[in-house]
Structure 1
């Protein structure tokens, strides 16, 4: 089967989406982006093209819930495959805004599937999440382990996977990879692309970077009484360019109909305090922090069993924690106020 030539990336101006656009352009794909910029900057797409040295085919300010506008994008371009990132992604916010999370994440995926069917597009890589494993009794987590999401964000991703599986059973030509990636961090090595959330960051790495650069006073560490070696939550951090590469590699394996699930992770657990120490070493800056109460919906440990991706694709992440921190700091130092500066 030939590789998809023109790839539609929903949420392509976001953190993972923008890095994936660079990865696709670097490997010869033509890229069309849709993004409503609810939590992203159009400047990211300008930088994508600068980093890649190639233009996007087009980018559209479109919400995936707007089926008519989305269908018009498909009508304008001969889309071969879709990578679906567009959605809301913050655990804490999802607890406060469950309706919005189900509407955007589940509703947006249903809308996309309807438009893909309308235009005869049958290949999809879905951006899922490790969060749907929930409060796992053991780690590392393999794809066959029980799913037990603990918050609306995670439940919305699990619902999306169920929708995709049901639609694959109804549409025998549809081929889907759902990638449950763990905690993406870092930035493009150029320093031009990175994580720049609008407002207060909900993820730990951009918060640490903003503290180190002097944009924020201190990091809140949510809980020091978790059942982990230092009492802080343990996560499997994976470089955003490895996540981007994983999505690009998945496109080349959309040969068989049906839905497949794979983890993207390193298999290495790092606590919040270990991450703080690694960032201090990379930046040479202090990162003051305070201990805060646990957040509702959080869990103690999420670490991937990453062997299935290696077995299926011969692929594994290549970048370590030091490189993740160094690249994130390079972006933050060069963009102390983010893309808006």
Structure 2
């Protein structure tokens, strides 16, 4: 089966391409390389022994999207990662985020809606819950007003897909709301490659550990948590990639209960910032230089998943521990800095 992965050279996208190819799918990648590099293809080939078809394409160009789907009319499923994802940047450049994250989604759904049958996996986020009232967070938790244009694009994206599915019986979709992806492939052939200053905690930790960053800032130690620092659910990127393949197979094999479904993808365990730092110090044998700073505006206290639905309905469960995932992130950081 031929599967399109948009943003397939990115962090989660590239790991998902590997899992798809390992299970015999034929993969086509679309990526505009605005936040990735074609060198990632070398890593994918090194792991799987197969070179996926790659098209450098800006999905904001509607005509090119139409031409692509005419040329590849045998695509049976789409996993859609392509999006801008920096919360701070989205506040500064909201129109860029709405154009890139919403416009491109609409163009793809228009093409899929014309097919006799299509399967669509959407890269959503736990940001849709905001600061949830109850922990752990179930899929039934209310969607809160977004804290940023980025978060808003994930909420709007889900609404657009849901509305489209209601009037398009041939379209089957699953939105995966994931928590905090981290780590690298065990082969250390692919991993997280942030451009500029990392937006996520783990690559900032590993860059500090390897000497690229002078110091890690810990924003707030007065939260109502076990050690005063914010709590998140850190999921290993390969576990997350496998969830996408399982969700896709659910649609391709007509096992879905409705033509639009939502699943949380996390470990079900919350880890504080200080616990993540301790994990790094344990697997690396290095003391991390960090400093407690004031809280950042917009940061929530705690977010971790109730994964019961994904475990029972999808038949998926995270396998890697925080320490194992951190070890892979550290191995990757050391490799790419050599």
TM-score, normalization by structure 2: 0.95
Q: Give the whole-Å Cα distance in 2 for the aligned partners of 1:90 and 1:301.
A: 19
Deviation larger for 90-99 or 39-48: 90-99
Structure 1: stretches of 5+ with no match in the other structure: none
Q: Spell out, residue by residue over 1:202-249, the C-alpha distance to the aligned partner (whole angstroms, 9 max, x if none).
A: 001111111111111111112222221111110000000010000000
Count matched residues: 332
Q: Give the whole-Å Cα distance in 2 for the aligned partners of 1:182 and 1:111.
A: 26
Answer yes or no: is the 8 Å Cα contact 1:95–1:296 preserved in 2: no
Tell me the residue number matched to 1:182: 179
Q: How does 1:228-243 map to 2 (within 5 A)?
A: 228-243=225-240
Q: Give the whole-Å Cα distance in 2 for the aligned partners of 1:295 and 1:41.
A: 31
Tell me the residue number matched to 1:129: 125
Q: How does 1:184-263 map to 2 (within 5 A)?
A: 184-254=181-251, 255=254, 256=256, 258-263=259-264
Q: Give the whole-Å Cα distance in 2 for the aligned partners of 1:205 and 1:121.
A: 39
In structure 1, which of residues 48, 64, 78 is the aligned counterpart of residue 59 of structure 2?
64
Structure 2: stretches of 5+ with no match in the other structure: none
Determine if the alignment matches structure 1 residue 111 to structure 2 residue 107.
yes
Deviation at 1:121, TM superposition (A): 5.4
Q: Give the whole-Å Cα distance in 1 for the aligned partners of 2:87 and 2:315.
A: 32
TM-score, normalization by structure 1: 0.94
Tell me the residue number matched to 1:79: 75
Deviation larger for 39-48 or 187-196: 39-48
Tell me the residue number matched to 2:85: 89
Deviation at 1:197, TM superposition (A): 0.8
**3-state SS in 2 of match to 1:32:** strand
Deviation at 1:74, TM superposition (A): 2.1
Q: How does 1:1-341 map to 2 (within 5 A)?
A: 5-56=1-52, 58-77=53-72, 78-118=74-114, 120=116, 122-148=118-144, 149-254=146-251, 255=254, 256=256, 258-336=259-337
Residue 65 to residue 120, structure 1, CA distance change in 2 (3 Å): farther
Q: Give the whole-Å Cα distance in 2 for the aligned partners of 1:240 and 1:277.
A: 20
Deviation at 1:282, TM superposition (A): 1.0
Deviation at 1:55, TM superposition (A): 1.6
Q: Spell out, residue by residue over 1:57-96, the C-alpha distance to the aligned partner (whole angstroms, 9 max, x if none).
A: x111112211222222222322110000000112222222
Q: Give the whole-Å Cα distance in 2 for the aligned partners of 1:284 and 1:196.
A: 23
Q: Give the whole-Å Cα distance in 2 for the aligned partners of 1:215 and 1:289.
A: 14
RMSD of aligned alpha carbons: 1.3
